[in-house]
Amino acid sequence: MGATGAVGAEFVRLFESRNFPIEELTLLASSRSVGKTLPYKGRPVVIKEATEASVQGHDIVFFSAGATRSRALAPAALESGALVIDNSSAFRMDPEVPLVVPEVNADALTKEKRLISVPNCTAIILMVAVNPLRALGDIDRLIVSTYQSASGGGAAVMDYLVEDTRAVLQESDRPQKDGLPPYAFNLFSHNTAIGDGGYNEEELKVIEESRKILGDPALKVNVTCVRVPVLRAHTETVTVEFKGLAPSEDQVRTILETAPGVQVIDDRARNHFPTPALASGQGDVLVGRIRADISNPHGISLLIAGDQLLKGAALNAVQIAETYRQKFGN
Ligand SMILES: NC(=O)c1ccc[n+]([C@@H]2O[C@H](COP(=O)([O-])OP(=O)(O)OC[C@H]3O[C@@H](n4cnc5c(N)ncnc54)[C@H](OP(=O)(O)O)[C@@H]3O)[C@@H](O)[C@H]2O)c1
């Protein structure tokens, strides 16, 4: 559900490229998309409207159409016996719902819990890079800054960035979009609502969800989320501070080089490090600029980049389904 969206299109491609064992594929979206088609295995699949009836009767339903739609329709899918994997924020912080990044906390999956949430994209990318370092010792604090792409806001925000860039280059009238600042050749604080403490919703998701995924409610996290004029893949800087431990750069590099879902790109001689362009279209989280924090013996700093439409959303969801089936069958 949400097949016509930025993430939905990735799901369909992944089903094909990973040979996901599908007998029958149903693609759902809003009434606006009814009758459109998307290609799957060389054949067009006609989009149907997402309704209580159309989300029923399937083994697995992937929800990727926003929290409101998940809240409205996930219960019907669950009632019909489906495994429901939800990409939205609707159920992530429900204590009864596993919030899963398979490389990090596959053990949170149980056979009985048939509603599973996919974490926020920024949190997933962060967790894939940070979790392996817990083999060195306990983490005290994460200090994070993000450089998030337009596709994180969905297909419409990508279109806005492209149109605004074209307008600047052609010196024509610039488009406007739902209160967003000018986007071409600009960047801005993440466009989610700011709460009382001055943190926006995206930042609070990263804080709360990281704690839940790592099972560490006391983990200190400070994060600033910023959107940059990049179409695809999020980049983040993170300083990981350990409790009473001063790990060497080499220890960190050695762990990351064999960590699942991580690819180290850290070539100081060539100044070659993770970028959103390198991360786009691939499932690994890229990690580089591995260095000791010059200001704190307990800190290690990293630059990471990940395709948030893939590992931050569709790929993580498909991996959850694959892991669930491996562990428990259908
Ligand atoms: N973009 C990301 O990087 C990212 C990362 C992680 C999680 N997510 C989550 O994934 C979900 C989809 O995000 P997206 O970026 O793919 O958004 P998007 O590009 O805006 O696509 C939204 C999808 O939802 C469908 N939809 C909208 N209103 C609907 C309705 N009333 N009934 C049924 N379907 C409806 C749309 O169908 P129509 O085309 O018919 O309007 C479209 O398929 C969201 O929950 C988002 O929070 C996104």
Percent above pLDDT 70 for the chain:
100
- Do the beta carbons of residue 255 and residue 132 sit within 8 Å? yes
Asked whether residue 52 carries a pLDDT value surpassing 90, the answer given is yes
Q: What is the distance, to the nearest Å, from the Cα of residue 155 to the centroid of all Cα atoms in its chain?
A: 15
Task: Give residue-wise pLDDT tens across range 225-278.
Answer: 999 999 999 999 999 999 999 999 999 999 999 999 999 999 999 999 999 999
Query: Catalytic: 121?
Result: yes
* pLDDT tens profile 59-113: 999 999 999 999 999 999 999 999 999 999 999 999 999 999 999 999 999 999 9
In angstroms, the Cα distances linking 137 to 80, 206, 209, 287, 298 are: 44, 22, 21, 20, 11
d(CA 225, CA 122): 9
Would you call 234 a catalytic residue per the annotation?
A: yes
Q: How far is the CA of 155 from the centre of ligand 1 (A)?
A: 8
Q: What is the pLDDT of residues 167-225, one digit of tens each?
A: 999 999 999 998 899 999 999 999 999 999 999 999 999 999 999 999 999 999 999 99
> Nearest to residue 238, comparing CAs of 313, 189, 197, 289?
289
User: Ligand 1 centre and the CA of 121: distance in Å?
Assistant: 14
Residue 330 has pLDDT above 80, yes or no: no
Among residues 121, 190, 225, 298, the one annotated as catalytic is 121
- Percent of residues in the chain assigned helix, strand, coil, to nearest 5: 35, 25, 40
